[in-house]
Structure 1
């Protein structure tokens, strides 16, 4: 790792940035793994980022671009079994090496060519969170463009992101430190986390599209930033968490996330980009303010990070059944056949994740004014293997009935989370074994903590 670093200033710049396909940006480096199984196909790999602080750092290897705030890496992918799975990772930072940044910055802007601070391209959506400096005509055009091309196609992802941000347990930077998606030369296509996240095993599990999720975020941040800068970065993440946890938004008009977010963010006055002449040979969009000094330079994509098409990557997938075991030369000693046992373990793990087909059954009547009976009925619906959409509807009704009697923020938030996810599931599909066990444990916990209030309801 390079040790010669030119320190750069942090710049406050509140921006909304979306990379529609992380794999497409990087040239599809890997399909990745999930639950000890190879991923066979990736259908969505979206990166959403609400950025508040940025910085460009020059090193011997080149320039690194940092963006800090609240982010979300969302995935929908397929395993060999044909089962689609969704997964996500919270992010507090993004590191782009210069060749990745320049690839982004030279993507053709599909619309809005005259708006230097707004980008709508194949690889990137970017705009300032505060649009108060725009005319009403321009704002209307930007709103319409983002709604058609981003918020409507990815509505469920944005709703999930906002639910995550508003969860009190999310983005706990004081406790869990940073979670940074990076294309740093030494940590290419990885998420770096701290030792404080080691116990959060769900986050550490491998997922689609990434080379790995690794420890080491503290080392890399301490190398590039001093203690005062690290405090400012931490303050940015906490401020964004507070702001976007507090805002209201219209689920049918998700651009309201940007509009209402601007009202809560401090230092939201946009910094105008300088009107500099850009080389006709390598025209670069102005993504980050800190990149302005490098607007005339261009870093080619290095050969050691080979690019390929999505089709080439998916064709490289080899199903386990077609992988032939090549024995070594025979010897008089025979090793224990532990591989077969491991495969059986993995097959069992995958089976417990699969959602079975179930028929539709009418829901029972959900009690109205008794907290304990509401939760008991909910548990019965889960135990009797109703379809996921019906379970989601039951959770919604139960939550609304409980709201009339008691206000328990974390309790109700968890019910809303499950309800929203399950009601968007496929029809006539039941919970997997693992999902059912996890949900029953949650409901048992809700019943336990509500029993002391039972006499009131």
Structure 2
């Protein structure tokens, strides 16, 4: 898989770091025809450390004043695995994102000490040089001059993915250097003015620019102890007017999803999967988050890209040939053949639980096909029909024809589990069309 970006006409061999530090001032979530866009504006800093030749590391950075994330990117971050603060809705620390509010005054002394120690050990000490570099950059007179240079947005929109959009207002002396390719970013191009005008009103764009200008003034004046970077939070909180904590907002939580942005609170119980068309271009580590007990899952509204659930993906799948490129999350697992467990099935819920158990225990595809066949036969004894009966039979036929010892890929396993959880939810909520047998039993 090629690594995004280039540097001075050289291909990037390896990226060691590519992180974004962002001091947010204004956030907004916007509903569009494609889904939600989640935006954050303020002072940002994209930092990357990479090599173009073996053992020859180079660092580069780009100034940012905005982040725009499509719903599937936001949800990928919001459902990443917690590293610390699992029970704290305000302070978030996962393997992909860290969020720390500036106002910690309402926390107990014990809690504040714990937060301080954890952030020092796991954030400020490991990334000390990057934080200091950013703070020194903010103090430069020509940085974050939004009135002259316009907004600079790192964009993860559906159609403008992994690009930095800049303004036509940017001074040529700055633009000529800024648009040079860098590691981890697909492209840097002019176009943010029209993009923002399609999303925000003129008054909202002015408000964004005023907020960035104010943050530039505040952070330029902040004194920072380079040996104690938690002073960044302590000193900033003295300068920024912090709105009162809305306890109702912060009490909104889910065991599956963090509330990174307050404006995204309405989507706390939704999940938008990563589109397969982007997975073809982006290799990312994937961990299934569906392997949970149904009783803890029934209030979690999972949204899947329609293409990811189409059976033709399963039908067209075959054993990869030597030299074929397949993402790790889409590569089938090699598993041993083993005997199916004896089903104890009396209800539709029992049938679906049986399928979930078999999928989670990693049987090969022909055995999985037999499990779907058993489930279909048992279903026929309980009910004349349900909406997914034909689909269950089709899946049985598809998987029975697959090669022995070939298990589901992580991606296919996730999609299949979500499909069955969706069947369970519809059954539980009475949303399915059912035949006479089930009605008589009721």
Q: What TM-score comes out, normalization by structure 2 length?
A: 0.61
CA apart distance, 1:129:
1.3
1:275 aligned onto 2:251:
yes
The C-alpha deviation readout for 1:204-237, integer Å capped at 9, x for no partner, is: 1000011100111111111111111111111111
8 Å contact kept, 1:30–1:211: no
Aligned to 2:229: 254
2:107 equivalent in structure 1: 134
Cα distance in 2 for residues equivalent to 1:81 and 1:109: 33
Q: Does 1:100 align with 2:73?
A: yes
Change (3 A) 1:198 1:211: farther
C-alpha change, 1:270 and 1:52, in structure 2 (3 Å) is farther
Alpha-carbon distance in structure 2 between the residues aligned to 1:301 and 1:70: 27
Runs of 4+ in 1 over 4 A off after TM superposition: none
Deviations 1:305-339 (A, max 9, x none): 114258xxxxx9xxxxxxxxxxxxxxxxxxxxxxx
| Structure 1 residues 49 and 35: CA distance shift in structure 2, 3 A | same
What is the correspondence of 1:75-224 to structure 2 with a 5 Å cutoff?
A: 75-80=48-53, 82-197=55-170, 199=172, 200=174, 201-224=176-199
Contact 2:148 2:171 in 1 (8 A): no
- Alignment of 1:264 onto 2:239: yes
- Take 1:119 and 1:33, find their aligned partners in 2: how far apart are those partners? 32
C-alpha distance in 2, partners of 1:225/1:157? 32
Number of aligned residue pairs:
281
Alpha-carbon distance in structure 2 between the residues aligned to 1:269 and 1:173: 28
Cα–Cα, structure 1 residues 266 and 29, in superposed 2: closer, same or farther, change >3 Å? farther
- Root-mean-square deviation over aligned CA pairs: 1.7
Q: Secondary structure at the match of 2:283?
A: coil
Aligned residue for 1:73?
46
Does the residue aligned with 1:214 lie in a helix, a strand or coil? strand
Residues 247-296 of structure 1: CA deviation (Å, up to 9, x unaligned): 11110000111111111112443443253463x6xx11010000101111
Q: What secondary structure, in the 3-state scheme, does the structure 2 residue paired with 1:224 have?
A: coil
1:62 to 2:35 alignment: yes
5 Å matches for 1:191-340? 191-197=164-170, 199=172, 200=174, 201-272=176-247, 273-276=249-252, 278=254, 283-306=256-279, 307-309=282-284
Structure 1: 5+ residue runs without aligned partners? 1-27, 311-315, 317-457
SS in 2 for 1:110: strand
Query: Unpaired segments of 5 or more residues in structure 2?
Result: 286-324, 326-442
SS of the counterpart of 1:196? coil
What is the TM-score of this pair, normalised by structure 1?
0.59
Q: What is the CA-CA distance between 1:168 and the residue it aligns to?
A: 1.4
Contact 1:31 1:40 in 2 (8 A): no
Alignment of 1:28-43 (within 5 A): 30-43=3-16
Alignment partner of 1:197: what SS?
Answer: coil
- The one-character-per-residue Cα deviations of 1:62-98 (angstroms, maximum 9, x if unpaired) are 1000000000000110003642111000100001110
CA-CA distance at 1:169 after TM superposition:
1.2
- The alpha carbon displacement at 1:196 in A equals 2.1
For the residue of structure 1 that corresponds to 2:169, the secondary structure is: helix
Structure 2 residue matching 1:304: 3-state secondary structure: helix
User: 1:30, 1:210 within 8 Å by CA — same for their partners in 2?
Assistant: no
Correspondence for 2:24 among 51, 54, 64: 51
Contact kept? 1:90, 1:171, Cα under 8 Å: yes
DSSP 3-state at the match of 2:135: helix
Going from structure 1 to structure 2, the CA distance change for 1:248 and 1:111 (only over 3 Å counts) comes to same
Alignment CA distance shift 1:255-1:29 (3 Å): farther
Can you list the C-alpha shifts for 1:37-75, whole angstroms capped at 9, x where unaligned?
111110111110000100000001010000000000001
CA gap 1:229/1:29 in 2 versus in 1, 3 angstroms = farther
Report 1 or 2 for greater relative contact order, CA contacts < 8 Å, sequence distance ≥ 6: 1
1:61/1:309 Cα in 2 relative to 1: closer, same or farther (>3 Å)? closer
In the other structure, the counterpart of 2:413 is none
Q: 1:246 to 1:198 in 2, by over 3 A?
A: closer
| 1: CA distance, partners of 2:59 / 2:250 | 41
CA contact 1:173–1:234 (8 Å) conserved in 2: yes
Shift in alpha-carbon separation, 1:234–1:116, aligned structure 2, 3 A: same
Secondary structure, counterpart of 2:161 in structure 1: coil
